[in-house]
């Protein structure tokens, strides 16, 4: 039977409507408007597209928002000084530096420089550590969006065999940590497979998964015979595999969508699956940061 396709776009729209009401109430009660700055270094086309989406949504929700574009050759010291300026700016509650950064800039130094209270990406080591012990203030946006999609789609997570493909700091490690917490919407038995896993073991692990989360960065990597009948398959991949005649990027996920959808119980499409959720979770974190600053 063909899988139910989970529309991240629809779930995201629903959450954004909830957030808009929260923003309006916060403004009415306290006069505080959530403030978000997105810093983009250079002109990587995928990054440009991501920050454009983030800014558009921030504006739709009535945020005070700044898109700060910096040249690809900005020095690390200048970037750190810029972050410090936003750390001190009371109108800004959330700071996001779009990754990846150019090679001459040390990404760790940049992430460490963001005030953890304004780290709406959830990448500062203080927030990473809090996540590990189940005390997160800000969950990283893509993993938070995945959990929200699973919960709002009615997927049973407690006791589920959950396999994550990929161990990145942005997706693989945090989603594994979120889903193993002893909490509602989590409490799964978690396995992470990665480039060090022998190929035959990789397939074996994936085939056991009730929930399969794929963030491998390889287009159409997961095949139908890796997937258990009825599994929930979350595809985090966004791979540009070509260009349409009108100049639009043609995207593919990390899952071989057409054959896998005949086997899975639930599946997220690319685009329109996890992507819109990531942006929405960033907005949710920024509203939370503004509320903390407002003391409500
Ligand atoms: N690059 C890819 N995903 C992300 C993300 O969630 N946050 C930031 N800052 N950069 C990214």
**Whole-prediction pTM value?**
0.96
pLDDT in tens, the chain (296 residues): 799 999 999 999 999 999 999 999 999 999 999 999 999 999 999 999 999 999 999 999 999 999 999 999 999 999 999 999 999 999 999 999 999 999 999 999 999 999 999 999 999 999 999 999 999 999 999 999 999 999 999 999 999 999 999 999 999 999 999 999 999 999 999 999 999 999 999 999 999 999 999 999 999 999 999 999 999 999 999 999 999 999 999 999 999 999 999 999 999 999 999 999 999 999 999 999 999 999 99
- What is each CA distance from 244 to 100, 237, 238, 240, 249, in whole angstroms? 25, 19, 16, 11, 6
Does the beta carbon of 48 sit less than 6 angstroms from any atom of ligand 1? no
Does ligand 1 have an atom closer than 6 angstroms to the CB of 96? yes
Give ∠ CA 221-268-271 in degrees, rounded to 5: 80
Distance CA 194, CA 186 (A): 21
Q: Does the annotation mark 24 as catalytic?
A: no
Domains of the chain in sequence order: 31-115 (3.40.50.10860), 141-277 (3.40.50.720)
Q: Is the CB of 180 under 6 A from ligand 1?
A: no
DSSP 118: G
Q: Is the dihedral of CA 51, 4, 241, 225 positive or negative?
A: positive
* Pocket lining: 111 vs ligand 1, CB cutoff 6 Å: no
Q: How far is the CA of 26 from the centre of ligand 1 (A)?
A: 27
CA of 110 to the centre of ligand 1 (A): 13
Choose, from 121, 137, 235, 256, the residue flagged as catalytic: 121
Contact 274, 143 (CB under 8 A): no
Q: Compute the distance from residue 99 Cα to the ligand 1 centre, in Å.
A: 5
Beta carbon of 141 within 6 Å of any ligand 1 atom: yes
Give the number of other Cβ atoms within 10 Å of residue 241's Cβ.
Answer: 10
Residue 114 host element (H or E): none
Q: How would you classify residue 96: left for phi > 0, otherwise alpha for psi between -120 and 50, otherwise beta?
A: beta
Nearest to 124 by CA among 144, 106, 138, 135: 138
- Contact by Cβ (8 Å): 188, 147: no
The strand pair at 239-243 and 249-252 is best described as: antiparallel
How does DSSP classify residue 255?
B
Q: Is the CB–ligand 1 distance for residue 170 below 6 Å?
A: yes
Nearest CA to ligand 1 atom 4: 99
For ligand 1, the distance from its centroid to the CA atom of residue 95, given in whole angstroms, is: 12
Q: Whose CA is nearest to atom 8 of ligand 1?
A: 98
Cβ(270) – ligand 1 distance below 6 Å: no
Distance CA 163, CA 168 (A): 14
Question: Could you tell me the distance, in angstroms and rounded to a whole number, from the CA of residue 291 to the centre of ligand 1?
Answer: 23
């Amino acid at each position: 039977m063909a899988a139910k396709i989970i529309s991240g776009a629809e779930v995201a729209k629903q959450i954004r409507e909830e957030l808009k009401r929260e923003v309006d109430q916060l403004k009415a009660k306290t006069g505080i408007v959530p403030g978000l700055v997105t810093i983009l270094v250079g002109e990587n086309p995928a990054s440009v597209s991501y920050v454009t989406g983030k800014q558009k949504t921030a504006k739709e929700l009535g945020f005070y928002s700044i898109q700060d574009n910096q040249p690809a050759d900005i020095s690390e010291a200048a970037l750190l000084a810029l972050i410090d300026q936003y750390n001190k700016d009371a109108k800004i509650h959330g700071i996001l530096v779009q990754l990846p950064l150019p090679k001459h800039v040390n990404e760790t130094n940049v992430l460490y420089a963001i005030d953890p209270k304004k780290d709406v990406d959830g990448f500062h080591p203080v927030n990473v550590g809090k996540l590990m012990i189940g005390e997160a203030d800000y969950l990283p946006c893509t993993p938070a969006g995945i959990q929200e999609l699973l919960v709002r789609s009615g997927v049973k997570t407690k006791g589920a065999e959950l396999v994550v493909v990929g161990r990145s700091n942005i997706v693989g490690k945090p989603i594994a940590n979120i889903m193993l917490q002893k909490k509602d919407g989590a409490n799964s038995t978690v396995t992470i497979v990665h480039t060090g896993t022998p190929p035959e073991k990789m397939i074996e692990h994936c085939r056991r998964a009730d929930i399969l989360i794929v963030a491998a960065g390889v287009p159409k990597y997961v095949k139908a015979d890796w997937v258990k009948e009825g599994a929930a398959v979350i595809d985090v991949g966004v791979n540009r595999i070509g260009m349409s005649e009108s100049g639009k990027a043609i995207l593919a996920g990390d899952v071989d969508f057409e054959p896998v959808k005949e086997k899975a119980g639930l599946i997220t499409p690319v685009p329109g699956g996890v992507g819109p959720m990531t942006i929405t979770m960033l907005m949710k974190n920024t509203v939370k940061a503004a509320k903390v600053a407002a003391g409500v």
